[in-house]
Structure 1
Amino acid sequence: MRLISFLILTAESLVRVVEAAGNSANGRQPIIIDTDLFSDVDDVGALAIANLLHNCGLADLRGIVLNTPSHYGPLAASVPFRPINNDAFFDSVDYLYGEYASKVAYHWPRKLDSAFSTPTPLELYRTILSSADDKSIHIISVGFLTNLANLLKSEADHISHLSGLELAARKVSELVIMGGEYPSGWEYNFGGVDPESTAYVVRHWPKSVNITYSGSELGGNIFSGQNLVQRSPPDSPVLSAYQWYVGRGSTTRPSWDPITTLYGILGLDFLSKLGIRPMLEYANTSGYNNVTATDGSNAWVNDTAVTNQHYLRLAGGISNHSMAALLDEFFTHDPSSRSCCQYEILSENAKDILFAEI
């Protein structure tokens, strides 16, 4: 059971969304993860991190929302995008990567039998936010922004008398987005599927709520997962997902979504929460992101009047290798262990790598 807990957590937590409200005072960071689990395996790494930090008391995973339409993504994780279909992932760009979501859903026990039995993303968003403490939720977006655009456009309903924009302004303390390239460029999450929704969210997100971006240039240069075969149990779903996706005897993959999730839970405060030196910092003090709706390309605009938006970079003295070593600790750590909040999470090898740079 412990090896599949990250796959079934949200199916369980759907029935306790309301009961969990107001629980942020215990030190757990309440989070919602909006993921494109299906087309890239780094989403599995992100969910593994969220599950581990939930189990050890640093995160409160309130829900997982899918922003891809396959029936297999929800079965492998949690809540589906609508409409859903029976498509399996096929890489028509590089003809390299294999389907993994359907295999994970098929080979591991799960409590979700049908994706059709779950709420829509909009229903789940509005339910979780309406019952949350004010300024408590971190939304971690590691995929397309369609669901968030729909939330912002939503009107008051039977779930809440507030509109989606009002719910976001009142209940969310930070939106963390894996998307874009900084200071400027084009990236797939922003422009590959739904650039109009990307532009809508970036332009209409409440100015009273922080937004932090994790760009393709950050995670794309950090390759994690290389030690999964040596250090994971042979029946680990994380190991199998990486093997099925990457293929050709490798489990190494860029770290876009895991880094975003790690920041979304810990912020910049790695010292008091993990017992290690801060690994990330803001690359700017002011300014805002500007997105072109036609293709999703973005550019950072310097503006000292705007201080609620940031994009991330590695902290001074931290290398790509050391961040990858930290992520691998999460991927291979026993998710049922409670000794995962502090320095003890690190293997001796990781301690040597991380602290050699301090």
Structure 2
Amino acid sequence: MKTTQLWALLISIMAFVGCSSKDAAKTTEENTPLSIIFDTDMGNDVDDALALDMLYKYMEEGRINLLAIPTTKKSEYCPGYIDIMNTWYGHNIPIGVVENGTDKNNSSHFIQTACELKTDNGKPAFERTVTNYADFLKSVSLYRKVLSGQPDSSVVIVSVGFSTNLAQLLDSQADEYSPLSGKDLVKKKVKYVSAMMGQMQDTAFKEFNVYCDIPSAQKFVNEWPTPIVASPYEVGDAILFPAKCIENDFKWKTPNPLVVGYENYMEMPYDRQTWDMTSVLYVVENDKNFFGNSGPGTISIDDTGATTFSPNANGKHSYLTVNEEQAQTIKDYFIRFITQKPAKYKDFE
């Protein structure tokens, strides 16, 4: 064989191997479950519980690894209810409790009802895995413990409550889990944050998650070193989860902590906004084009809690949008997915 022919053959082989390696890497990446931390103020609204239901089911499908559930609500019933959900669904996801959290909202009715619910013989209606509140790690310690053990740029944080934990994480220092500062640890390990926060259509509007801890929200958007994708108030407000699903589609197993929570959050029947669920959906199904996107820019929060967005090609922030058609498509998806039985109960009739 002539030298030129030999070189041509070698180049072809190398190109084939190179393409195959790239294809294999792409396939591996696509098949690797997403690593998610779910940061929640469980108890302030029932959409947190619906969002957690989605995460359990995505995990059962092998699409995500739910690494941890740090909380931002100052209430023993908050981690207690999540522990009930963990146990009922058949999982044991680490739960964190907030330290020095906000006192602006202490309502805990629906999670307290679930935690204190009794059977006819007076026993707790729901089993628990963690029975001692002191056994829960502080949320920032849980963040540092979990992040330190993950590959670089691999973790997505879904934040659907106050920014308290995120601000405290930025200020955290080297500890037993990592020699890095909080900001350096975030920069090294976190891919981006999907945050339910703000209102981008009305600059006078004080969105709840922001308003309840304005200093933390400001610190989060001003100092967080990786991208932030916000699902603002108007997105979840346009998509209502129907009460008829709660009333009709969960009768195969009672009591169900998700149903108990929903039925005790407001007087039934009511259709509830899906704010927190949209932040979950964006992360796991971001190739489905469920949402529009603002494009890059910068989110700002003033001292009253109002949010504004300034387009900027070099900005690290963006926010989701929905039109009427997208809102209906997402609603239909939520109904189908959330009414599916969890893996633990597939055989229940």
TM-score band, normalised by the shorter chain?
0.7 to 0.9
Q: Match of 1:60?
A: 65
Q: How has the CA–CA distance of structure 1 residues 171 and 127 changed in structure 2, closer, same or farther, with 3 Å as cutoff?
A: same
SS at match of 1:263: helix
Please say if 1:36 is aligned against 2:41: yes
* 1:232 CA drift (Å): 1.3
**How far apart in 2 are the matches of 1:26 and 1:155?**
34
Aligned match of 2:290: 279
Q: What is the CA-CA distance between 1:159 and the residue it aligns to?
A: 1.3
3-state DSSP of counterpart to 1:100: helix
Aligned residue among 235, 242, 247 for 2:255: 235
Name the residue aligned to 1:295: 304
1:38-95 Cα offsets, whole Å, 9 max, x none, are 111110001001111011111110000110100000011132223699xx954xxxxx
- Residue of structure 2 in register with 1:80 after alignment: 97
Contact 1:75 1:114 in 2 (8 A): no
1:112 corresponds to 2:130: yes
State how 1:179-218 maps to structure 2 within 5 Å.
179-185=197-203, 186-206=205-225, 209-218=226-235
TM-score, scaled relative to structure 2: 0.78
Letter of the 1:172 partner, please give it. Answer: V
Residue of structure 2 equivalent to 1:304: 313
- Structure 1 position 317, deviation (Å): 6.9
Aligned equivalent of 2:325: 318
**Contact 2:197–2:231, Cα closer than 8 Å, also in 1:** yes
The secondary structure found in structure 1 opposite 2:325 is: coil
Letter of the structure 2 residue corresponding to residue 297 of structure 1: A
Task: Indicate the RMSD between aligned Cα atoms, in angstroms.
Answer: 2.4
Contact persistence 1:225–1:331 (CA under 8 A): no
Cα deviation digits, residues 91-139 of structure 1 (max 9, x gap): xxxxxxx811012223311201122211100100000111111000000
1:244 and 2:264 aligned? yes
Q: Which of 1 and 2 has greater Rg? A: 2
SS in 2 for 1:311: strand
Deviation at 1:281, TM superposition (A): 2.6
Q: What letter is aligned with 1:65?
A: P
Structure-2 residue corresponding to 1:353: none
Matched, 1:130 2:148: yes
Amino acid at match of 2:325: I
User: What SS is found at the alignment partner of 1:300?
Assistant: strand
- For the residues of structure 2 that align with 1:24 and 1:125, how far apart are their CA atoms? 24
1:139 aligns with 2:171: no
2-side partners of 1:319 and 1:244: how far apart?
A: 30
Q: Quick one: distance in 2 between partners of 1:81 and 1:124?
A: 10
- Tell me the equivalent position of 2:241: 224
Counterpart among 65, 69, 76 of residue 71 in structure 1: 76
Residue 338 (structure 1) shift: 11
Describe the superposition over 1:146-169 as per-residue Cα deviations: whole angstroms up to 9, x where unpaired.
Answer: 100000011112210111100111
> Given the alignment of the two structures, is residue 101 of structure 1 paired with residue 111 of structure 2, yes or no?
yes
Q: CA deviation at 1:34?
A: 0.6
Question: Aligned pairs, how many?
Answer: 293
2:332 matched to 1:332?
Answer: no
CA-CA distance at 1:304 after TM superposition: 2.4
Q: CA deviation at 1:235?
A: 2.7
Please give the alpha-carbon distance, in whole angstroms, between the structure 2 residues aligned to 1:154 and 1:71: 24
Structure 1 position 241, deviation (Å): 1.0
Q: CA deviation at 1:198?
A: 0.4
Offset of residue 26 of structure 1 = 5.2
What is the distance in 1 between the residues matched to 2:227 and 2:30? 20
Query: Aligned-pair distance for 1:218?
Result: 0.5
* Whole-angstrom distance in 1 between the partners of 2:313 and 2:171: 29
Match of 2:21 in 1: none
Percent of aligned positions that are identical: 26
Amino acid at match of 1:62: L
TM-score (norm 1): 0.76
Per-residue CA deviation, residues 290-337 of structure 1 (Å, 9 max, x unaligned), is: 111x2221111122232x3210012x6734333222112232111107
Pick closer, same or farther for the CA change 1:311–1:84 going to 2, 3 Å.
closer
Compare 217-226 and 323-332 and name the one that shifted more: 323-332
Match of 1:342 in 2: none
Any unmatched runs of 5+ in structure 2?
Answer: 1-27, 83-94, 117-124
Question: In the superposition, relative to structure 1, how do residues 55 and 121 fare at CA in structure 2: closer, same or farther (>3 Å)?
Answer: same
Q: Give yes or no for contact 1:279–1:318 (8 Å, CA) kept in 2.
A: no
Q: Retained in 2: the 8 A contact 1:137–1:173?
A: yes
Equivalent-residue separation in structure 1 for 2:99 and 2:32 (angstroms): 34
